Structure 1
Amino acid sequence: MLQRNTQTKPLDVLVATPSGGTGQGGIDRVMGGLRTELERQGTAGLKVRFGATRGPGHIALSPFYLGGFLLRMLGLKAMGRLDVLHINLASAGSTYRKLQIARLARLLSIPYVLHLHGAEYREFWKDDQSRLSRDIRTMFEGAAHTMVLGQVWRDFVAARAPRAADRIVIVPNATAQPALPHVGGGERVHILFLGRIGDRKGVPQLGDALARMQHLDSWRATIGGDGHVEAARSKAAELGLADRVDLPGWVGPQRVAELIASADIMVLPSFAENLPMSIIEAMASGLAVVATPVGAVSDIVIDGETGLLVPVGDVDALTTALTRLVEDKSLRDRLGAAALQLHREKLDLTPYARAVGEVWISAAR
């Protein structure tokens, strides 16, 4: 259990996250899990609050949520109840909001931790001297610590903001252990994809790979998520996959848990990621994983050990990897067992909450 000196007042932490840790986006799920784990542990010496900076509704309402968060910062600081600010950061609108939050934190002399989780931040934060790039660099270099999800992101931030390099900490995402026991797909191997349906997640390539596997009778697939659902359904029908591939659209937490429990293989052939929650959740249940080595994925999916990696956009390699796993139960079991062990050791919420708490305590010193 993480502890501070309880003879002093608790360390007051305010966490800035899109929907306050209650939304269904990846970082809100992580922060919701963190809040639950902190409550379960009863961590001494920390008082952690969560606040929404975008809000769960229409984007037009986000200025009101941001304004409310900034006012909350001012009020907590005035009452002596804000020691550290934790800022979750992605690209586009998230950065524009967080630039204002970080600017106010520096004005009020509040130490802040930046938590970078955006999959496309390399493309968003350009290596130039534009006003936006300079402002982002100032935000990172003004942070007490920057939390990133893997080595590739540590190198990226260090290159863009050299004065922040010695304060970058790698803390991978984490999930709770599953509430439902893993039962698998039974007689037909269940291949599962979870994520936003579209080009960035490699769904077109996945459809083509599944079409090439139609001669195998021993599999079925579920492609769950929002995005271009109707287009994907039409494409599945065109490829002759309508009776083999289910596209339910957006699925809530309970249904996600049920799908993972009934799956044998998790596939995520993305073109860009940071460290996707679907892979970590799959590992928590001992699924065999097929993914592309993008973002920090290769930090946890070691090819041939904790999963299979395929080149980005390579339909042939994706087809081969999925076919191997469908036909070879011993390989599925071996990769799944290794993934499960890795989750328990490094990707579970218990060590995650401890690591994040240590970053907060260090930031306040």
Structure 2
Amino acid sequence: MYKILMIGPDSSRASGGMASVIRSLSKSETLASRFTILEFPSCRDGSLASRLFFTGVQYMRFIIKPLKADICHIHIASYSSTWRKLLYGKAAKLKGSRVVYHVHGAEYKKFFASLSERGQKRLRHSFSQADAVIVLSNSWKCFFENTLDLKNVVVINNSIDCAKSNFKHGFPASIAFVGRLGVRKGAYDLIKALGMLQSKGMRFFCTFAGDGEIEKLQEAAKVAGVFAKYAIHWMAWRGKSPGHPLVILHHGSALVR
């Protein structure tokens, strides 16, 4: 059985998409039947001082300790996350492990364009040395292949473990949006879509669970005419799905493209 070491944010003490994906993969019963999956937190939430201290200590631990893993599955975002995780990848290769980079950064195009020619060359070389580079959609695959000239890119969409969800069919339809409420996550796109459903006479109940631009989104819902006429519920995100069909409209993930 392959041993996989997942490197990324501490899934028990960090928020955000990467931590959610790591948590989902590490707790998957389907994957556990085929692989031994361990977590190595490279960072966690907290004050700036505590984050810097933890990040440095964890990297030193990774360098010093023997690596007992067949594959290092390294989760990467844009900017400083990339350069920190490339250090892990280089060390893992020196220790004889296979390396897989899992790119989550929604602003990776912007990040890559901001790099100097030397920085872009360094990034291309580091990714090309990996055994695989995982991206979230076909549009991201095209970007990494065409812009970074990579030949080792594979697509794995973000997923939901349906076995752990109690989906119910009914009328009116129940919809849930879970995540940061704002433009980048597609919350306003959903409001627009709900307005289109309303114009066709369709009934629905939509739950928005998350933080962010709550008041602005509520105002957009009023403008679209769906705030009062149809039931829209707003709730704080506490780490659990409301149990309805989930909507994923993240601009960066490009799931539907």
TM-score, scaled relative to structure 2: 0.79
Aligned residue in 1 for 2:89: 102
Distance 1:53 1:210, change over 3 A: same
Unaligned runs of 5+ in 1: 4-10, 275-294, 299-365
CA distance in 2 between partners of 1:116 and 1:128 (Å) = 17
CA distance, structure 1, for counterparts of residue 29 and residue 243 of structure 2: 27
Amino acid at match of 2:50: L
Q: 1:111 to 1:250 in 2, by over 3 A?
A: same
Distance 1:39 1:75, change over 3 A: farther
Matched, 1:117 2:96: no
How far apart are residue 197 of structure 1 and its match? 0.8
Q: State the 1:50 CA deviation.
A: 0.9
d(CA) in 2 for partners of 1:175, 1:220: 21
1:318 match:
none
Which residue, 204, 217, 222 being the options, matches 2:207?
222
Q: What CA distance in whole angstroms lies between the structure 2 residues aligned with 1:207 and 1:70?
A: 43
Q: Distance in 2 between the 1:105 and 1:228 partners?
A: 40
- Residue 126 of structure 1 deviates from its aligned partner by 2.0
After alignment, is 228-237 or 191-200 more displaced?
228-237
More helix by percentage: 1
Letter in 2 for 1:169: V
Secondary structure at 2:120 match in 1: helix
1:113-144 deviation line (CA, Å, top 9, x unaligned): 11112222122212874343233222202212
Q: Cα RMSD over matched residues?
A: 3.2
User: Aligned pair 1:204/2:188, yes or no?
Assistant: yes
Question: In the alignment, is residue 136 of structure 1 matched against residue 154 of structure 2?
Answer: no
Distance 1:207 1:141, change over 3 A: same
Partner residue, 2:25? 34
Which structure's residues are more often strand, by fraction? Answer: 2
Residues 124/55 of structure 1: CA separation in 2 closer, same or farther (3 Å cut): same
Pairing 1:51–2:10 present: no
Per the alignment, do residues 208 and 27 of structure 1 end up closer, same or farther by CA in structure 2, a change over 3 Å counting? Answer: same
Output the amino acid matched with 1:36.
Answer: K
Deviations 1:30-74 (A, max 9, x none): 22222223697444xx65421222203345533223212212212
Counterparts of 1:180 and 1:12, CA distance in 2: 28
1:16 aligns with 2:4: no
Q: Which residue of 2 aligns with 1:145?
A: 132
**1:170 maps to 2:150:** no
Deviation at 1:269, TM superposition (A): 4.3
Q: Distance in 2 between matches of 1:20 and 1:148?
A: 20
What secondary structure, in the 3-state scheme, does the structure 2 residue paired with 1:34 have? helix
Tell me which residue corresponds to 1:331: none
Once the two structures are superposed, residues 84-105 of structure 1 have per-residue CA deviations (whole angstroms, 9 ceiling, x without a partner) of: 3221111133223223323444
Are 2:184 and 1:195 equivalent residues in the alignment? Answer: no
Q: Could you tell me how far apart the structure 1 residues matched to 2:177 and 2:217 are? A: 13
Q: Which runs of 5+ in 2 are unaligned?
A: none
Q: How far apart, CA to CA, are the structure 2 residues paired with 1:240 and 1:106? A: 56
Contact 1:120–1:273, Cα closer than 8 Å, also in 2: yes
Tell me which amino acid in the other structure corresponds to 1:52. Answer: P
Q: Which residue pairs with 1:297 in the alignment? A: 256
CA distance in 2, matches of 1:92, 1:67: 17
TM norm structure 1 = 0.59
SS at match of 2:10: coil
By how many angstroms is 1:238 displaced?
5.7
Which one has the largest radius of gyration? 1
The one-letter code of the counterpart of 1:273 is G
In structure 2, relative to structure 1, the CA distance for the partners of 1:68 and 1:12 (3 Å cut) is farther
Specify the SS of the correspondent of 1:154: helix
Corresponding residue of 2:55:
66
| Paired letter, 1:112 | V
2:7 match: secondary structure: strand
Structure 1 distance, partners of 2:69, 2:31, is 23
Residue 352 (structure 1) aligns with: none
SS in 1 for 2:162: coil
Question: Offset at 1:83?
Answer: 4.6
Say whether residues 1:233 and 2:212 are aligned partners.
Answer: no
CA spacing shift, 1:210–1:38, aligned 2, 3 Å: closer
Secondary structure, aligned partner of 1:138: helix
Q: Is residue 2:252 matched to residue 1:273?
A: yes
Q: Percent of aligned positions with the same letter in both sequences?
A: 25
